[in-house]
Structure 1
Amino acid sequence: MNRHKRYVIVLPEDRADEQIANGFSNHLNVIADAIKVERPAGGWTKVLAKFSEALVPEMQKFSKCLIVLLIDFDQNKNRLRYMQSQIPEDLKERVFILGSWSNPESLKKDMKKSFEDIGESLANDCSDNTNQLWGHDLLKHNKGEIDRMVSSVKPFLFKLQ
């Protein structure tokens, strides 16, 4: 990964989120050297801790770095707001918080797909400008974050078609 070009680091909460991120990053139209999936943090609070300890310094050093915090919302309507309040003001426009409204296991059960296939389907939606899976009941709450990402992430993360 060239840190002097725009790139995304994905910090997943758990193994299921990591598999979804890997499915996304392995999509045919995703530029592989523009995305890095970190190892799972081990819980949403640990995502915040790792973000603060390791990724905030990276973002401060490398202005082309964008971060996706991939969490389970556990049906908590305040989680997004709380997590956003923990992001330094000068970095907020480069940090995105996404995840299943409950947990990835519920999404997997409902979709009848593997976690990797879910990730690939999400990448399809992004690449094709569709909202098939992102519009799912367990993902539609991500709309605001996805809308923010379109102009800043899509131009360098996906191959032109």
Structure 2
Amino acid sequence: MAVNKEKPHLVVLPEDDADRQLANGFALEIDSRQIMILPISEGWSRAREDFKGKEEEKMKKYQGRHVVILIDFDEQGDDRYNAVWDEVSEEVRDRTFIIGPRKDPQQLKRALSSESLENIGRKLARDCRDGTRSVWNHPEIAHNAKELDRFCPAARRILFG
């Protein structure tokens, strides 16, 4: 489904199919046409390249465009985050978010008692909407705390307004 590019909107760039399932669950919890999930990038470095090569230019054209680069951190924490963040131009940094599980979505799924990834995505959306962190505080995803301080207010304004 296409978003109205002239209004504030959120685009999710998932690294792989498991991340796409998390994003789909998030989107299912929202009654909004202002979210779009892009095709998978097939790896975190490819997601970084796809952002730099395609999405960043669209963000410059559409000032209401916000992008979540949804990657697996593969237990690389700040190094992985910085490898992506360093490629984001200053002009769009306030509308770019790098989020993902500490290791990978399957590890998150196991840690949360084998819930489906879509159901986990739904719960993450509810936390965002409600200003809570019941799932976001789980050790497999809690490292996103600083990014959530930026992301959740923007998501509430765009998607839950």
TM-score (norm 1): 0.94
2:39 matched residue in structure 1: 39
1:8-157 mapped onto 2 (5 Å cutoff)? 8-27=10-29, 30-77=30-77, 78-111=79-112, 112-157=114-159
Q: What RMSD in Å do the two structures reach over aligned CA positions?
A: 1.0
Q: What displacement does 1:153 show?
A: 2.5
Per-residue CA deviations over 1:135-157 (Å, capped at 9, x if unaligned) read 00011000001001133231121
Residues 101, 108 of structure 2: 8 Å contact kept: yes
For structure 1, the 5+ residue unaligned runs are none
Percent of paired sites with the same residue: 34
Q: What displacement does 1:31 show?
A: 3.4
Residues 10, 158 of structure 2: 8 Å contact kept: no
Most deviating of 126-135 and 40-49:
126-135
Residues 26, 32 of structure 1: 8 Å contact kept: no
How many residues align? The count is 157
Cα distance in 2 for residues equivalent to 1:72 and 1:25? 19
TM-score (norm 2): 0.94
SS of aligned partner of 1:63 = coil
For structure 2, the 5+ residue unaligned runs are none
Cα distance in 2 for residues equivalent to 1:36 and 1:148? 19
